[in-house]
Amino acid sequence: MASTLAPPAAGAILAGPPSTGALSTRGAWAGVPVLAALRGLAGVLLAAFIFFACFAFSETSPYDVVAVPTMLLWACLGLRLHRGVLPLASLLLLYLVAIAAALIPYLNEPVPLTWTIQLAYLVATCLFFAMLFADETTARMELALKAYTASCVFSASLGIVGYLDLLGIEDLFYKYGRASGTFQDPNVFGSFLTLGALYLMHGLLTGSVRRPVVALAALLVVLAGIFLSFSRGSWGGSAVAVGVMVASVYAGAPRLRRRIVGLTLLTALLGIAAILALLSVDHVAQMFETRAAMTQSYDEGETGRFGNQLRGLNMLVGMPMGMGPMHWRLTFGLEPHNSYIGSFANGGWLGGTVFIGLVLATGFVGFRLMRLDSPHRAHAQIVWPALLMFFVQAVQIDIEKWRHVYMMLGMVWALEAARLRWHADRVSRARVC
């Protein structure tokens, strides 16, 4: 059930009776629906906030610039912490406590301190999204997913243009011989695009998209971006996410099963054709051959990724408080490239345990959202498989500073809060009848 955007008192203050001399009835505000205008502005800021998630050239991006005014405006209009979001809030705050405790010996070091502050900011954005999407869920989720998908198409297009050197500007939208779009890291770029691909594909499978030809063309652009990122994690993770999403839609829509099978096969064939066309370019084929290997040179050896992880695990067994934020890199010269190990290194035994608990709890909620019939099942079929992909990828990459992961985490728990409220309302109505 959609709920009001702001408490009645807030609306009364903004649009009070003429006798009160409220701003909405005097001077420049005369005849202007102030609350409606503020809600419209809040919607525009939210769309811009999410669209700018694709700009990750540096530590600070337009996403972070828009974040504060967007969150403040929505907070003024009214946000509520629903009981369905409380487990998420509790786990995130406990995780921050563990990180802060591990930070205490290193408060005089700027890098660990800055990293912890940035993590606290990302947790704040996650809780904001969880509260925001828990009310008026369908409309707000659609706005957010459309903005995110537009961001994916935009970034993927730049990645393709940059990789094929159509602009003649070297290293602008590709790095290390791989497409990176508007990101510093091709791995983050490829994984970022998955949610947009799932949204477009879900619309095509269910027939909810208004312009299927445009949606299909956009999907092929996004899939080409994922491929040209040459990220093994993005390839495998996207395949898993698509498989989970298609299986859920197929199981929940018996009347659409022929359409689902047909469109899935058509999309797969078009995707394969696009990949074969890209592989006809020599440097694309060479990079594919290199990246298709199970391991790379930096993975192997005692000082490689896997060797560092084995040595680090042996050390962490005897370190209840962990190594401290960012101290894995100081010890081994590389990031752990595993968020589960990283959570133990950064936050000690408590931080690692809470992080695993957060992943398991979110997995339980996500799969339940996809399994149970509710008005929010469709959005869960899009968002949860994408987030699941990041949890799987966390085994071989560090995701704890990826902005869009916190957005998806907030979305999943917001959908659960909305489902719980919908279920409670339905039970209440049944009792009355």
Highest mean pLDDT among 25-39, 264-278, 296-310, 328-342: 328-342
Q: Please enumerate in sequence order all residues whose Cβ is within 8 A of that of 72, keeping only pairs 6 or more positions apart, or say none.
A: none
Indicate if 157 and 281 belong to the same structural domain.
yes
Is 423 inside any structural domain?
no
pLDDT, average across residues 319-347: 88
Indicate if 141 and 131 belong to the same structural domain.
no
> Two tokens at 171?
């290293």
Report whether pLDDT(281) > 90.
no
One-character DSSP codes across 140-155: HHHHHHHHHHHHHHHH
Res 263: pLDDT? 82
> Two tokens at 244?
């989970």
Res 292: pLDDT? 63
CB atoms within 10 A of CB 82: 19
Q: Among 293, 319, 344, identify where a domain stops.
A: 293
- Please name the residue that has the structure tokens 């990101």: 183
**Are the CB atoms for 377 and 99 separated by under 8 Å?**
no
How far apart (Å, rounded) are the C-alpha atoms in residues 128 and 1? 19
CB atoms within 10 A of CB 239: 13
Q: Which is more confidently placed, 31 or 428?
A: 428
Is 203 inside any structural domain?
yes
pLDDT, average across residues 23-40: 65
Is 380 inside any structural domain?
yes
Q: What is the CA radius of gyration of the chain?
A: 23
**Are the CB atoms for 415 and 379 separated by under 8 Å?**
yes
Is 241 inside any structural domain?
yes
> Two tokens at 338?
């595993």
For 367-376, what is each residue's pLDDT tens digit? 999 999 999 9
Indicate if 74 and 100 belong to the same structural domain.
no
Res 24: pLDDT? 41
Helix, strand, coil percentages, rounded to 5, for the chain: 75, 0, 25
Indicate if 150 and 285 belong to the same structural domain.
yes
Q: Please enumerate in sequence order all residues whose Cβ is within 8 A of that of 171, keeping only pairs 6 or more positions apart, or say none.
A: none
Look over the chain and give the mean of its residue pLDDT values, rounded to a whole number. Answer: 85
pLDDT, average across residues 212-234: 91
Indicate if 191 and 286 belong to the same structural domain.
yes
Indicate if 192 and 264 belong to the same structural domain.
yes
Q: What angle do CA 17, 77, 122 make, to 5 degrees?
A: 165
Indicate if 223 and 270 belong to the same structural domain.
yes
- pLDDT band of residue 331 (cuts 50, 70, 90) is confident
* Long-range Cβ contacts of 336-340 (<8 Å, 24+ apart): 336/308, 336/309, 336/312, 336/398, 337/305, 337/309, 337/396, 337/397, 337/398, 338/309, 338/394, 338/395, 338/396, 338/397, 338/398, 339/394, 339/395, 339/397, 339/398, 339/399, 339/400, 340/394, 340/395
For 166-216, what is each residue's pLDDT tens digit? 776 656 788 877 888 889 889 999 999 999 999 999 999 998 888 989 999
CB atoms within 10 A of CB 106: 18
What DSSP character marks residue 294? S
How many domains does the chain fold into? 3
**Are the CB atoms for 263 and 198 separated by under 8 Å?**
no
Is 287 inside any structural domain?
yes
Q: Which of 279, 176, 171 is nearest to 224 (CA)?
A: 279
- Is 36 strand, coil or helix? helix
- Please name the residue that has the structure tokens 């018996």: 254
How far apart (Å, rounded) are the C-alpha atoms in residues 188 and 193? 9
Indicate if 142 and 289 belong to the same structural domain.
yes
Indicate if 183 and 202 belong to the same structural domain.
yes
What's the length of the chain? 433
Indicate if 147 and 258 belong to the same structural domain.
yes
Tell me which residue range forms the domain holding 391: 82-135+303-418
Distances (CA, A) of 268 to 150, 201, 260, 271, 273: 22, 11, 12, 5, 9
For 120-150, what is each residue's pLDDT tens digit? 999 999 999 999 999 999 999 999 999 999 9
Rounded to 5 degrees, what are φ and ψ at 55? -90, 100
Distances (CA, A) of 307 to 231, 262, 314, 333, 413: 21, 45, 11, 12, 36
179: which strand partners? Answer: 174
Q: Which is more confidently placed, 256 or 298?
A: 256
Indicate if 244 and 364 belong to the same structural domain.
no
Q: Per DSSP, which regions of 66-177 are E strands?
A: 174-175
Q: Which is more confidently placed, 308 or 240?
A: 240
Q: Among 258, 293, 328, identify where a domain stops.
A: 293
Distances (CA, A) of 139 to 10, 132, 196, 228, 388: 21, 11, 17, 33, 23
- Please name the residue that has the structure tokens 């957005």: 407
**Are the CB atoms for 98 and 348 separated by under 8 Å?**
yes
- pLDDT band of residue 233 (cuts 50, 70, 90) is confident
Q: What is the largest CA-CA distance in the chain?
A: 78
Q: Which is more confidently placed, 36 or 81?
A: 81
Is 192 inside any structural domain?
yes
Is 171 inside any structural domain?
yes
Is 19 inside any structural domain?
no
**Are the CB atoms for 193 and 250 separated by under 8 Å?**
no
Indicate if 255 and 367 belong to the same structural domain.
no
* Long-range Cβ contacts of 358-366 (<8 Å, 24+ apart): 358/88, 358/91, 358/92, 358/95, 359/391, 359/394, 361/87, 361/88, 361/91, 362/88, 362/387, 362/391, 362/409, 362/412, 362/413, 363/388, 363/391, 365/412, 365/413, 365/416, 366/412
Res 426: pLDDT? 86
